[in-house]
Structure formats: C-alpha cells, structure tokens
C-alpha cells in the first residue's frame, strides 16, 4: 500500500527565514507522481507542483523549490525568505493509477506552517 509521511506536524518561523517541509513516501510502483498542495485558511487546496518519478531534477519557482531524491524516497519543499502569506497547511501527495485515465492521491497528514512578523 502507498504511504506518505509528513513528520512535521507544525512549524513556526519568523518572516524571512527559510523553511523546509519534509515528505517521505512509500510505493511499489515504478512510475508515479508526487504533488504538493497548499491549503490556506480559506480551505481550498491549491496545487503547487507535480513531479514524475523519472525526473529527479530539482525545481525552483520563485521563492519555492523542491528537492526530489528517489534514493531516499523524499520530496522536500523549501520556502526561501518566508512571508506571512505563506502561512498555511501544506500537503504532500502520491498518485496511484486506478484506471487507465484516472489516478488516486494518497495524502500525507499535512504540515501547518505559521510565519510570524
């Protein structure tokens, strides 16, 4: 069975600090996708990134960066120079194909990030 572990339940940082959110996954599939979603206080999950298992290149998007390491089954998310607007719950998720054209997401339990002034 697939599993996603986000060991950090809650993280508090002061604005402008860098912060890394950890994600470790388990799967027997050789082809899979990993995701990060952000859930601000409004409740809606916002898609941040999708990564396939064949692409271990790190990705950077503005202040966000992702480090995918297949050898350690990890897909960590770093926010550089954090801002108050980054305060949210962040979910890591792993896809599993359930039909030829649909996949199911297994979510971690989420990490609540609190950024203060």
Give the integer Cα–Cα distance in Å for 11 and 89.
Answer: 10
The answer to whether 7 contacts another protein (rule: CB under 8 A) is no
* Position 108 contacts another protein (CB under 8 A): yes
55 sits near another protein (criterion: CB under 8 A): no
Angstrom distance (rounded) from CA 61 to CA 106: 24
Does residue 100 touch another protein according to CB under 8 A?
A: yes
Distance CA 117, CA 96 (A): 40
Q: How far is the CB of 100 from another protein (least distance, A)?
A: 6
Q: Provide CB contacts within 8 A for 3, sequence distance 6+.
A: 25, 26, 27, 94, 106
> With binding defined as CB under 8 A, does residue 98 bind another protein?
yes
Question: Can you give the binding site for another protein, defined by CB under 8 A?
Answer: 4, 33, 35, 37, 42-47, 50, 52, 91, 95, 97-105, 107-110
């Amino acid at each position: 069975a697939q599993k996603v572990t986000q060991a950090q339940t809650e993280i508090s940082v002061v604005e402008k600090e860098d912060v890394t959110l950890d994600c470790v996954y388990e799967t027997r599939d050789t082809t899979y996708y990993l995701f990060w979603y952000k859930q601000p206080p409004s409740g809606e999950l916002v898609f941040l990134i999708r990564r396939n298992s064949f692409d271990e290149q790190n990705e950077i998007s503005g202040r966000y960066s992702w480090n995918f390491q297949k050898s350690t089954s990890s897909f960590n998310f770093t926010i550089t120079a954090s801002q108050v607007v980054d305060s949210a719950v962040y979910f890591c998720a792993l896809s599993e194909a359930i039909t030829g054209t649909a996949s199911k997401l297994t979510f971690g339990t989420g990490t609540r990030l609190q950024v203060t002034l």
